[in-house]
Amino acid sequence: MQQPLILGSIGQISRTVSDIARAETWYGTVLGLKHLYTFGKLAFFDCDGVRLVLSGETNTPLPAESLLYLRVEDIGRVYTELQARGVRFTHAPHLVHRHADGTEEWIAFFEDPEGRPLAIMSQVKAQLVCPVAT
């Protein structure tokens, strides 16, 4: 009898960047991701147990890549803090779905130094007011 195939959680995601030093600073300082190590043109960060690998490329333009969605507890606070750190948001936090139990899904989009999109996302209990500081 053949054993069923069971895949584990995602262990690592890679993203290309044109300037590894600039990206390493931005992802580590501005986003506050924990830098694990750098090896040549590869910089490794911890995203709550999933490694993010930034791969320095000299080819331009950079290829289209998957969007990274980063979970946060308080989307309003993180949105405000990232704006203060110079992050350019293309879309402010907004409600994208309300579950039957009242839990809400909120999301906000921003760009990395390469101009490619990332997002912060949060699940919040239903509220009478928007979770974003005005």
Give me the CATH topology for the region 67-134.
2,3-Dihydroxybiphenyl 1,2-Dioxygenase; domain 1 (3.10.180)
Please state, as a whole number, how many other Cβ atoms lie within 10 Å of the Cβ of residue 36.
Answer: 12
- Residue spans of the domains in the chain: they are 11-62, 67-134
What is the arithmetic mean of pLDDT over 106-133? 83
- Per-residue pLDDT band at 22 (split at 50, 70, 90): very high
Report pLDDT for 133. Answer: 56
pLDDT > 70? residue 134: no
pLDDT > 60? residue 104: yes
pLDDT > 90? residue 23: yes
Mean pLDDT of the chain: 89
pLDDT > 70? residue 2: yes
Report pLDDT for 131. Answer: 63
pTM: 0.82
Report pLDDT for 60. Answer: 64
DSSP symbols for the chain: -PPPP------EEEEEES-HHHHHHIIIIIS-PEEEEEETTEEEEEETTEEEEEEE---SSPPP-PPEEEE-S-HHHHHHHHHHTT--EEEEEEEEEE-TTS-EEEEEEEE-TTS-EEEEEEEE---SS-SS--
pLDDT > 70? residue 59: no
- For domain 11-62, the CATH architecture is Roll (3.10)
11-62 with 67-134: one CATH topology? yes
